């Protein structure tokens, strides 16, 4: 099967760039919906009165469903057609967005977010994989991937800002209804501008592998979240062991299949493993930082959603710009060196948040988020480029499914682990309710209790963001010592410059 990844003689048409513009729409929506609820949670909590566990599930279930289904949907798109699955996923995502906007209870909202996750799992791998079809010329493809990643990473950063503006004028459901007109544009122009692409000669999906992958990821993530938030107990350990065993069976099965759902040979290439580790750790740290600082700006400093959103603009701009230039940085410094630099900057930005306090330090927040954003934006572009360049175009969907799974899993784990770690430190600081908002509401004007609770929340945020910085720094060290090796533009395996 001939790869179309890099034909230097191929010309990039105007239609390809118009097609890219259409592909950016679902990417922006899916990434926005990872973070758009960060600022909406206080308003949403007042309306639906979810429990502390339900609040976490409202935030978590979307990313967990995407993480559990991305590999499957990437493989399915390779077989039945990437444009077909893109449009089908957009329809599911739109209907679920309407259900979420008008959800009468926390349970219905959780179910709607789960459906949105199912739809989103089809949108990300199909949109990025279609780039290898639209842009056969290597340099144009790298530019397109940079733009795609800028909207993916930038969407996650701009989500709270758009959410803050909407919440300032409308009710919390508006953060979901904004998806509808954008999806309608995709459904109208997608069939006109996007080429269909499906692989020939590949067998059907291995359904036992599908079941094992989903059945392994979701229980394991749930167990980690539960233990971090509520403490270790027998049911959580049991659920986690079941998930781990299913994942072990999944990996063993992949080694025996001619057409595996997860191509384990990719991980023997040093830079592919670095890319997957960087996306997982990077999104974990970014999600935890974004969620906790969003809560800090509103609940601790007393800013409304719009004011908190405006303070996030510098980071959003930096993430977008650095995502656009990530490919050029990789070519100039070498992919491995660029990974080390990007991860180190993200770690430094997280550590700068130690300057944030109850009564001041907003300057530290802005500066830290900007430095971290420079690192995150650059790293995420490198991840996408390595994923798409690692395989022939016919298998791009399955490879992208792996990289996007790491993004979504990192996002979910960031909220679960770092969010729960911050909550654990907060609750250990005194006789507080489950959340800072509940504590302030029930304090009855007890100023000493409120001040103590805010101080404890900030301590928890510091512990969580410092943990994110340590993980980023550790990943930078791993990248430094990793062996290079990925697919070059001519389709042969060749080392990246170090």
How much of the chain, in percent, has pLDDT values that exceed 70?
A: 85
CATH number assigned to the domain comprising residue 279:
1.20.1250.20
- Answer for the pair 308, 35: CB distance below 8 angstroms, yes or no: no
- Answer for the pair 359, 451: CB distance below 8 angstroms, yes or no: no
Q: How far is CA 275 from CA 5, 30, 158, in A?
A: 19, 21, 23
Q: How far is CA 498 from the centre of its chain?
A: 27
- Which is nearest to 162 in space by CA: 345, 338, 5, 35? 35
pLDDT at 189 over 90: no
174 vs 390, more confident: 174
* End-to-end C-alpha distance for the chain, whole angstroms: 30
Residue 117: inside a domain:
yes
Residue 3: inside a domain:
no
d(C-alpha 103, C-alpha 98), whole Å:
9
How many structural domains compose the chain? 2
- Which is nearest to 105 in space by CA: 48, 60, 53? 48
Do 135 and 283 lie in one domain? The reply is: yes
188-215: average pLDDT:
78
Q: How far is CA 151 from CA 21, 31, 272, 314, 430, in A?
A: 10, 8, 22, 15, 42
pLDDT band of 202, cuts 50, 70, 90:
low
Task: Quote the pLDDT of residue 363.
Answer: 92
- Which is nearest to 199 in space by CA: 10, 400, 389, 392? 392
Do 218 and 276 lie in one domain? The reply is: no
d(C-alpha 219, C-alpha 197), whole Å:
34
- Torsion angle of the four alpha carbons 179, 185, 191, 192, in this order, in degrees rounded to the nearest 10: -160
- Which is nearest to 36 in space by CA: 307, 264, 309, 267? 309
Residue 493, strand partner residues = 487
Do 347 and 453 lie in one domain? The reply is: yes
- Answer for the pair 358, 303: CB distance below 8 angstroms, yes or no: no
Residue 2: inside a domain:
no
User: Hey, how many other C-beta atoms are within 10 angstroms of the C-beta on 234?
Assistant: 7
Do 238 and 124 lie in one domain? The reply is: no
- Which is nearest to 25 in space by CA: 146, 148, 206, 118? 148
Largest CA distance in the chain: 72
Do 314 and 364 lie in one domain? The reply is: yes
Do 226 and 118 lie in one domain? The reply is: no
Which range marks the domain in which residue 128 is found? 14-205+261-494
- Answer for the pair 313, 132: CB distance below 8 angstroms, yes or no: no
pLDDT band of 78, cuts 50, 70, 90:
confident
Length of the chain: 498
Residues 6+ apart with CB under 8 A from 10: 4, 136, 137
pLDDT at 6 over 60: no
CA-based R_g, the chain, Å? 22
Do 92 and 105 lie in one domain? The reply is: yes
Do 118 and 239 lie in one domain? The reply is: no
Do 34 and 169 lie in one domain? The reply is: yes
- Supply the mean pLDDT for the chain: 80
Task: Quote the pLDDT of residue 393.
Answer: 57
pLDDT band of 494, cuts 50, 70, 90:
very low
Residue 377: inside a domain:
yes
pLDDT at 114 over 70: yes
Q: Show the DSSP H helices in 207-233 as ranges.
A: 207-230
Residue 494, strand partner residues = 486
pLDDT 10s digits, 254-264:
888 887 877 77
Residue 359, strand partner residues = none
Residues 6+ apart with CB under 8 A from 37: 44, 58, 59, 163, 175
Q: Could you say which DSSP state residue 487 is in?
A: E
Do 76 and 212 lie in one domain? The reply is: no
Do 29 and 64 lie in one domain? The reply is: yes
Q: Show the DSSP H helices in 356-418 as ranges.
A: 362-389, 396-413
Residue 130: inside a domain:
yes
- Torsion angle of the four alpha carbons 206, 208, 210, 211, in this order, in degrees rounded to the nearest 10: 170
Residue 371: inside a domain:
yes
Residue 1: inside a domain:
no
Q: Which helix (H) or strand (E) holds 484?
A: none
Q: How far is CA 402 from CA 100, 125, 232, in A?
A: 28, 9, 30
User: Hey, how many other C-beta atoms are within 10 angstroms of the C-beta on 204?
Assistant: 8
Residues 6+ apart with CB under 8 A from 299: 42, 436, 437, 440, 454, 457
d(C-alpha 474, C-alpha 343), whole Å:
9
Do 389 and 461 lie in one domain? The reply is: yes
d(C-alpha 403, C-alpha 422), whole Å:
27
**Could you tell me the pTM of the whole model?**
0.74
273-286: average pLDDT:
89
pLDDT band of 344, cuts 50, 70, 90:
very high
Residues 6+ apart with CB under 8 A from 392: 1, 2, 3, 4, 5, 491
359-373: average pLDDT:
92
pLDDT 10s digits, 119-160:
888 887 788 778 877 887 777 777 888 888 777 766 766 666
- Answer for the pair 393, 317: CB distance below 8 angstroms, yes or no: no
- Torsion angle of the four alpha carbons 330, 336, 340, 345, in this order, in degrees rounded to the nearest 10: 10
Residue 486, strand partner residues = 494
Question: Which of helix, strand or coil describes residue 210?
Answer: helix
Q: Which of 243, 260, 277 is the last residue of a domain?
A: 260
């Amino acid at each position: 099967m001939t790869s179309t990844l890099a034909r230097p003689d191929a010309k990039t048409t105007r239609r390809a760039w118009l097609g890219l513009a259409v592909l950016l729409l679902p990417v922006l929506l899916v990434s926005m919906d990872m973070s758009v609820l960060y600022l909406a949670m206080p308003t949403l909590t007042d309306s639906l009165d979810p429990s502390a566990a339900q609040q976490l599930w409202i935030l978590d279930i979307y990313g967990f469903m995407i993480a559990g289904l991305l590999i499957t949907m990437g493989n399915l798109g390779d077989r039945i057609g990437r444009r077909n699955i893109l449009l089908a996923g957009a329809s599911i995502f739109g209907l679920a967005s309407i259900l979420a906007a008008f959800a009468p209870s926390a349970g219905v909202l959780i179910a709607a977010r789960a459906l949105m996750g199912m739809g989103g799992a089809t949108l990300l791998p199909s949109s990025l994989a279609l780039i290898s079809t639209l842009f056969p010329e290597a340099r144009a493809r790298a530019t397109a991937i940079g733009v795609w990643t800028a909207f993916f990473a930038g969407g996650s950063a701009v989500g709270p800002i758009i959410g803050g503006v909407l919440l300032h004028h409308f009710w919390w459901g508006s953060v979901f209804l904004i998806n509808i007109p954008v999806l309608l544009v995709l459904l109208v122009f997608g069939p006109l501008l996007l080429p269909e692409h499906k692989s020939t000669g590949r067998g059907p999906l291995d359904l036992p592998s599908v079941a094992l992958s989903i059945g392994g990821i979701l229980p394991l993530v749930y167990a980690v979240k539960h233990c971090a938030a509520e403490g270790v107990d027998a049911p959580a350990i049991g659920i986690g062991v079941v998930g781990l065993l299913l994942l072990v069976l999944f990996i063993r099965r992949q080694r025996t299949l001619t057409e595996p759902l997860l191509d384990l040979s990719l991980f023997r290439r040093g830079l592919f493993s670095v890319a997957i580790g960087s996306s997982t750790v990077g999104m974990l740290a970014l999600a935890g930082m974004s969620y906790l600082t969003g809560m800090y700006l509103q609940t601790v400093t007393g800013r409304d959603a719009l004011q908190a959103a405006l303070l996030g603009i510098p980071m959003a701009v930096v993430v977008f710009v650095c995502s656009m230039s990530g490919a050029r940085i990789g070519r100039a410094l070498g992919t491995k060196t660029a990974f080390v630099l990007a991860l180190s900057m993200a770690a430094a930005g997280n550590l700068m948040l130690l300057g944030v306090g109850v009564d001041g330090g907003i300057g530290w927040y802005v500066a830290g988020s900007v430095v971290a954003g420079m690192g995150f934006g650059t790293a995420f572009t490198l991840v996408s480029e390595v994923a798409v360049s690692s395989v022939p175009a016919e298998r791009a969907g399955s490879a992208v499914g792996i990289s996007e799974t790491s993004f979504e899993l990192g996002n979910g784990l960031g909220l679960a682990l770092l969010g729960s770690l911050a909550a654990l430190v907060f609750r250990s600081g005194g006789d507080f309710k489950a959340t800072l908002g509940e504590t302030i509401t029930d304090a009855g004007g007890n100023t000493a209790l409120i001040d103590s609770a805010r101080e404890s929340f900030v301590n928890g945020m510091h512990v969580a963001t410092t943990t994110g910085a340590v993980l980023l720094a550790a990943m930078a060290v791993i990248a430094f010592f990793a062996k290079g090796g990925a697919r070059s533009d001519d389709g042969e395996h060749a080392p990246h410059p170090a």
